[in-house]
Structure 1
């Protein structure tokens, strides 16, 4: 190589852009940079090939509602002991910007009951029936969300006095169990159809991303949402987190209607011929999580059952490099049908039932984790 060629090569190397993690040490997530390629996002390649737990993904819906009162430390503990690969959970944001684990944007009297005001003379008391976004953490923590069971889940165990957990407390629980292979699939419960009823999208995204980073759980958390705009924003804020596009039927996607559905982050499903898989792929979703069929609580053995997930849907998603994780499936025949379709996992209220089906199919079962202090035996 001539001296001139060597000098030119050196200049090229010196002028090359730095990686996403610059010498300043500031994460790309804090700079709110949107990756356009694997070169701009060093985590992208790893995320695409390594997202999610090994093997078939058994996800315990809200901790496994069929077994234990939902979204409680008791439900997540029992799911870990039953043996799941992923804890599926929902997050709402309180008035004082705390991420609490609960499904409902409005405190449900069927699940929680008032025990007393957060302070004497609190004009907002009672809290049942209020929106979580209008209550402080101190107020929601007075609620007993574990004593009442739901009649549609006759096997459900109560957890008397259970308080609405913080997201950080669920992370701490998983660490106490040494459940180092278990993932958490966190739904940001942005109500795109009625945004005034939940915290703003930006608040959800920033707070959840911060909680995941602080817990050092970036390699074991995926973010799901029906609000695809929240997923797009999460990809900008924390590109290391896999994003999962939840989807429902026509009422959600709104095909054939003017403009975009409020749930799709500006995407008009008609631009994709009504195809949710292609639409989700267009903004970089790592997985799609569709309803399994209609009615939502139906079974493949029902006369009026219409499957939504099909082999063709799964094959299309896999061509895009996306996983398919349908919700919420509670009976063995429908589980078998979906496994035949080639899905990558299933969200269920009954993780014990899905374990039985997986065992029958010869699928590797997720590890059971004993309660802290108990021996394996």
Structure 2
């Protein structure tokens, strides 16, 4: 694990589970807006989960979808619009689409779990991390292992990173077949730059997050973060299993659960 992101110098795993606010916190649906990020930070969150995409003129935005259509009052594909055109859009008819630079500078003490959503954002995300010297504050994530690794190769210093879909599938499938020592050997190359497994409770008919899965991940030196959990009972169950982090839309409820368990440490 890359220690600075997880705040655990010399430790194998975080001493408390990590709480990650999924696209900030906005029951009103203002996801990935500065208002949503500010609300999460005001709740005490120190870890924000977010996404990045890049405009036609190379500006890195904090945004999930490939188009503006679902969450803003405008339309169009991000990759085909200029930054000036996107700047006219309002999330939920109210909030502008943030720049990555805005988010990094607004909350200098916050860690960012960043999902790089497209290939055009590989260079722009790496450049943004370099520009702000944010290596210690960022975990790079992507469903694509190739895209994630492409970002890592452009950085001057290591950053934390979570496995993509292919690597996650290998860990899950082979973990049910091989002892940990052999599993570590077989997956040595696939896991060479991986610090976290960020997974849903289930992939289709398969239950991923079990006691055995968490035990194997820890034996491989990896942390397990589960997404996207909004039910308090499920939060409690997963924390009892020993997960290292939960990604949630309901930052308020997760904080409540972690406070009652004595596990809240500011996110």
Q: TM-score, normalised on structure 2?
A: 0.84
What CA distance in whole angstroms lies between the structure 1 residues aligned with 2:7 and 2:170? 34
Match of 2:136 among 216, 219, 230: 219
What CA distance in whole angstroms lies between the structure 2 residues aligned with 1:306 and 1:334? 17
Conserved 8 A contact 1:82-1:352: yes
Where 2:135 maps in the other structure, the secondary structure is: coil
Conserved 8 A contact 2:148-2:164: no
The residue number in structure 1 matching 2:112 is 184
**Structure number with higher strand proportion:** 2
The residue number in structure 2 matching 1:79 is 40
Match of 1:70 among 31, 51, 69: 31
- RMSD (Å), alpha carbons: 2.6
Which shifted more, 341-350 or 66-75?
A: 66-75
The residue number in structure 1 matching 2:99 is 166
1:21-40 aligned within 5 A: none
Match of 2:241 among 312, 336, 341: 341
What CA distance in whole angstroms lies between the structure 2 residues aligned with 1:244 and 1:65? 25
Distance 1:313 1:214, change over 3 A: same
The residue number in structure 1 matching 2:91 is 145
Distance 1:271 1:87, change over 3 A: closer
CA deviation vs aligned residue, 1:140-176 (integer Å, no higher than 9, x gap): 11112133xxxxxxxxxxxx2x11110000012103x
Match of 2:199 among 290, 302, 305: 290
Does 2:64 correspond to 1:103?
Answer: yes
- TM superposition shift of 1:211: 0.6
Does 2:232 correspond to 1:323?
Answer: no
Moved over 4 A (4+): 267-281
Distance 1:97 1:352, change over 3 A: same
CA deviation vs aligned residue, 1:154-212 (integer Å, no higher than 9, x gap): xxxxxx2x11110000012103xxxx2x211111012xxxxxxxxxx2x4222111111
What CA distance in whole angstroms lies between the structure 2 residues aligned with 1:52 and 1:274? 27
Q: TM-score, normalised on structure 1?
A: 0.61
What CA distance in whole angstroms lies between the structure 2 residues aligned with 1:271 and 1:214? 34
Structure with bigger gyration radius: 1
Gaps of 5+ in 2: 9-15, 177-182
Conserved 8 A contact 1:223-1:242: yes
What CA distance in whole angstroms lies between the structure 2 residues aligned with 1:360 and 1:243? 30
